[in-house]
Structure 1
Amino acid sequence: MRLPPLNSLRAFEAAARHRGYVGAAEELHVTRGAVSRHVKLLEDHLGVTLFKRLPKGLELTDHGRRFLPVLTEAFARIVSEAQRISRSGADLRIICPPTFSIRWLIPKLDRFRIDHPDIHIRLTTDFYGATGFDASEYDLGFAMDNRRKRPADIRSLPLLPTSVSPACSPRFLGEYGPFDEPSDLAGKTLLHENAGHEDWKAWLTRFNVEGVDPESGNTFPNLDMAVKAAVMGTGIVMGDLMLCQEELRAGTLVMPFEDMKCETDGWLCLIGREDRWSDPKVEAFKAWISEESAKDVADLVS
C-alpha cells in the first residue's frame, strides 16, 4: 500500500484529538470543510470508516481508535527530532586539550555566550585521538601548530605564542636559592609536563645554559599537574607564561629569571575544516577568540 496523503493524516489526527473539525481547522489554519475533505480522502484510501458522524460531533470507530495513537506518537517524534536538529544547527562543536581548556578558554567562554546567545558551544575537554583532529566530530579545535602535519583541507588561525620561563614557589626559592645564574639550577628538581621535556630543552638551549640536565627531574601527564607540584614546592617547572598567569599574579609561583623568557617553536592555533571555515558560527568564534588572545598577548608583553 502507498503511504496515505500526509495532509490527510494530519487532518485526521487533529480532528480526533479535538473531537471535531472546528478545533482541527483552527489548529491547522484551514477551513472546516478542508479538514472534512482530507479525512474523507484518508478513509477512501484506507477503505475503512474512521469517524462516526453524529449530530453533536464525531466519534472514533474501532479503526480510528487504533490509528490515532500511532499517528500522535509519530508526529510527536517528528516534531522532537526536528527541534533537536534545529538546535544542533546552532551548536558549535569544539575540542580543546584539558590544561588549555581549564586555564584559559573556559574562564572566558561566558563572554562569548553573552555576545552570541544564539550560538551554543559544545565543548569537549579532551586530547585528540591517534588520528588527530576529527572534522566529522568537531567544527573547531585548539592545537599546537608544530605538533602534527595537518591535512590540506584543515585551516589554522594562530592565536597565542608559547613563551616559557622557569617558575617555582617562594618556598622553593627560599630553600634552594638564590638563583643568580641559570646554571644554579644544576642538581635541582626539574618538573616536566611531558615525557619529551621539550620546553626545558628549548629554554636551556636558547640561553646556552650548561650543567643542567633536562632529562632529570619528575615528569607529569600535563602542565596543570606539573604546575601544582611546583606550587607545592617540590621542584621548578618550565612555566607557560600565558597559562600560569593565575599563579604568577597570586605569587604562588615566581620566576627567578624574569627577563629570560623563551618562545618555543609553536603557536597555539585554532583549527577547522576549510569547507566550514567561513560558516557564520565559526566566523563569530574566530573573531571573538582572536580579540581575546590579542588582549592577552598585549598584557604579556606589557
Structure 2
Amino acid sequence: MYDLPPLSTLTTFEAAARHLSFKNAAVELNVTPGAVSHQIKALESELGTTLFRRRHRGVELTADGGKLFSTLAESFYRISAQLREVRAKRGEKRVKIGTTSAVANLWTSHMLSTFWREHPDITVDQLVSEEGFGAEAALDMYIRYGKDHRSDWSQQPIYRDELVPVGDPALAIALSGASIEVLSEQRLIHLEQNDYSWTTWNDWFTAQGHPEVGDRGFRVNNYMIGLHAAMDGMGLMLGWRRLVGPLLEGGRLKVVEGHSIPAPRRFYLVSRPDEDLAAPARLLKGWIGGITD
C-alpha cells in the first residue's frame, strides 16, 4: 500500500550512502560488496534513476541519491527512536541524541561508534532533523550550531570551528590564493534552512569587509546535498573545516586556501538537566565533553 521498493534495497542504499563506500557498507551489513552493488542496481532500476556516481576512489551521491538518503536517514532514525521507547520497557541502557544529517554523517556516527566500543552495554540512538529540536519527551540531548535560545535545557559548548570555502579539488586548486572579489564571483552553493543560526555566505563575505553577494549561485535545504554538489564541481560551499574534515581527508573536497574566518558560534550539546538524565545519558554527556575542546 505504500508503493515502496524492497526494504532490503533501501537499507543497503542507506548504508552505502552513509559510508560513501560499497565495501564499508558490505562490512556493516555482513554481505559481499558485490551483493551491495546488486541491491543498489536493483533500486536504481526500480526508481529509474542513478543514485551513485562510481569514482575510482569510491562513490558519490547524485542529486536524486542525496535527496533519497536525507529522507531515509531521518526516517530510519525516527523508527529507531520509536523502537527505543519500546525496548526501554525491558530496562535496556539507551540514550537518544539529536543532530542534523550533516553532523550525524560527518561527526557523530564515528564518535558514537567509539563510545559504543568503550561502553558496549549502552546503545545510542540518533534522531536526525534539519528543523531543529524542542523538548521532545524521548530526546536526552542534541547537538546544534549556536545556542538554542528557545530551550531552557543545559547548553554545553563543544568546539568552535573555522569557516572556509570548499570545492572539488580541481576548482579549489585553481582558486587557491584568489582575492575575495574573485571568490565572490564564483558559483556559490547557499544553504537555506528554517534554523537561522547557521552562518551564510553573506555573513562570511561581510565579516571580511566585502559586500553581500546576494543569492548568486543556487540554494539547497540540506547541507550534505550542498557538499555533494560541491564535490561534483557545481560550485563552492561554505565549509566548517573540522566538521567536513572526513571529506577533506578523503580527497573528495579541498579548501580554497587564502580566506577564512573563525565561526561566529560554537557547536553546543543541549541536554536535559543532569538530574533528569539517566546514568547512561550522563555518561555520554561527560564523554562528549571530554573529547572536544
TM range (shorter): 0.5 to 0.7
Q: For residue 65 of structure 2, what is the aligned residue in structure 1? A: none
The amino acid across from 1:119 in the alignment is I
CA shift at 1:169, angstroms?
A: 1.5
Q: For residue 225 of structure 1, what is the aligned residue in structure 2? A: 225
Query: Are the aligned partners of 2:168 and 2:233 in contact in 1 as well (CA < 8 Å)?
Result: yes
Q: For residue 247 of structure 1, what is the aligned residue in structure 2? A: 247
Alignment identity in percent? Answer: 18
Query: Alpha carbon RMSD of aligned pairs, Å?
Result: 2.7
If the length of structure 2 is used for normalisation, what is the TM-score?
A: 0.62
1:117 aligned onto 2:120: yes
CA shift at 1:277, angstroms?
A: 5.5
Q: For residue 19 of structure 2, what is the aligned residue in structure 1? A: none
CA shift at 1:283, angstroms?
A: 2.2
Q: For residue 263 of structure 2, what is the aligned residue in structure 1? A: 264
If the length of structure 1 is used for normalisation, what is the TM-score?
A: 0.60
Mean Cα displacement is larger for which, 187-196 or 241-250? 187-196
- Cα distance between partner residues in 1 of 2:219 and 2:236: 12
Structure 1 residues 205, 253: CA separation in 2 closer, same or farther (over 3 Å shift)? same
Q: 2:191 aligns with which of 186, 190, 193?
A: 193
- Cα distance between partner residues in 1 of 2:177 and 2:274: 52
The amino acid across from 2:118 in the alignment is D
Q: For residue 32 of structure 2, what is the aligned residue in structure 1? A: none
Mean Cα displacement is larger for which, 263-272 or 215-224? 263-272
The amino acid across from 1:125 in the alignment is V
Deviations 1:98-134 (A, max 9, x none): 11011100012121112112222122223456xx422
The amino acid across from 1:106 in the alignment is S
The amino acid across from 2:150 in the alignment is R
The amino acid across from 1:237 in the alignment is M
Q: For residue 184 of structure 1, what is the aligned residue in structure 2? A: 182
CA shift at 1:139, angstroms?
A: 1.1
Q: For residue 135 of structure 2, what is the aligned residue in structure 1? A: 134
Return the index of the structure with the highest Cα Rg: 1
- Cα distance between partner residues in 1 of 2:89 and 2:283: 21
SS, match of residue 268 in structure 2: strand
SS, match of residue 87 in structure 1: coil
**Paired residues for 1:277-296 under 5 Å:** 279-294=278-293
Q: For residue 155 of structure 1, what is the aligned residue in structure 2? A: 154
The amino acid across from 1:105 in the alignment is T
Structure 1 residues 109, 194: CA separation in 2 closer, same or farther (over 3 Å shift)? same
Structure 1 residues 257, 157: CA separation in 2 closer, same or farther (over 3 Å shift)? same
CA shift at 1:278, angstroms?
A: 5.7
Q: How many residues align?
A: 206
Q: Which runs of 5+ in 1 are unaligned?
A: 1-80, 295-302
Query: Are the aligned partners of 2:154 and 2:270 in contact in 1 as well (CA < 8 Å)?
Result: yes
Structure 1 residues 214, 238: CA separation in 2 closer, same or farther (over 3 Å shift)? farther
Query: Are the aligned partners of 1:247 and 1:253 in contact in 2 as well (CA < 8 Å)?
Result: yes
